Amino acid sequence: MELRQLTYFLAAAQTQNFRRAAELCLVAQPALSRQIAALEAELGVQLFKRVKQRVALTPAGQEFASYARNALDLLQQGQQAMLRFQEGQSGTVQIGCNRSLATVFLPTILATFQHDYPHIRHRVRVDPTDAIIAMVEQDEVDLGLIFDPVAHSEMVIVEELFRQSLHLVVSAHHPLAHAEPLTLERIIAEPLFLLGEASRLRKVLERIFTQRGLAVQPAVEIDSVEGLKEMVKQGNGVTLIPPALVRSPQIDSGLVLAPVADLTEEFIFALVYKRFGSIAGPARQVIKAIMAAHTNRVL
């Protein structure tokens, strides 16, 4: 069964005349007649009754006509959807994201984006940075948001969004909340609350501790950024994280964010997407929105 057969059939059903139907379809009448005959043979039923110069739908033809109209309507909707997809107005975007960025950073971006592009859907996979880069390479995701990319791949483009140094985060009631100057050695004398060993931020901290010759035994390890901040807020421990992972309301409601005098190294937050091949319209729109949102951002 072919699309043109359905088109010819519906034109004949509307005009009740093969010649006029052929004119509407810009095809010779014998060709239209052959295609309708082939459709009837395939379905195993007679769709039209031939009466002199006119044709009329048989009961089978009347029932099939509703299916044919629905099929063509669906195809037309599909064509319109593909046009919107090409224009980046609809579709699904697969996003890879670090756990910490998925908690604080990504929701703000998607909230704004969905307001502007309500017909674009998002599927977010939460994984470590190296895994996200591999997923972009293998077309498992369209783009990724990562922290501290250290592996380099010729298959992907890594666009730096911004840089931040690590800051101390403590409860507003902690002795270090208003202490100056703050040094790393002074900070690690306190109970240290950290993300789990698999997180990129934990690896960054371990690298810093090793470079400074510091041995650290965390008092608490947790795989949730939100859980980490809540434990710091409620307890006596401290942690070190980039400011981007702390929302302003949290600072106002019991947490203090403070720079560390001898911890000035900056770490990259980046967008990653594939270098070769085409990028679907919806994914291009997300990439453009992320880049535009952070072009002039000061953190």
Alpha-carbon gap, residue 191 to 143, rounded angstroms: 37
Do residues 139 and 260 make contact, with C-beta atoms less than 8 angstroms apart?
no
β-strand pairing of 193-195 with 156-165: unpaired
| Architecture field, domain 167-264 | 3-Layer(aba) Sandwich (3.40)
CATH of 3-86, one of 3.30.70.990, 3.90.550.10, 1.10.10.10, 1.10.1200.10: 1.10.10.10
Question: One digit per residue, pLDDT tens: the chain, 299 residues?
Answer: 888 899 999 999 989 999 999 998 899 999 999 999 999 999 999 999 988 778 999 999 999 999 998 888 888 777 666 665 665 567 889 999 988 788 777 888 888 888 888 888 999 999 988 899 999 988 899 999 998 887 677 788 888 888 999 999 999 889 998 888 899 989 989 999 999 888 888 888 999 999 988 888 899 999 888 899 999 998 889 999 998 888 766 565 789 999 999 988 888 999 999 887 778 888 888 888 888 876 644 33
Superfamily of domain 91-162+268-294: Periplasmic binding protein-like II (3.40.190.10)
How many CB atoms are located within 10 Å of the residue 31 CB? 13
Residue ranges covered by each domain of the chain: 3-86, 91-162+268-294, 167-264
Judge residue 272's burial from the number of C-beta atoms within 10 Å of its C-beta, 0-12 exposed, 13-18 middle, 19 or more buried.
buried
Helix (H, G, I), strand (E, B) or coil at 97: strand
Asked if 3-86 and 167-264 have one fold, the answer is no
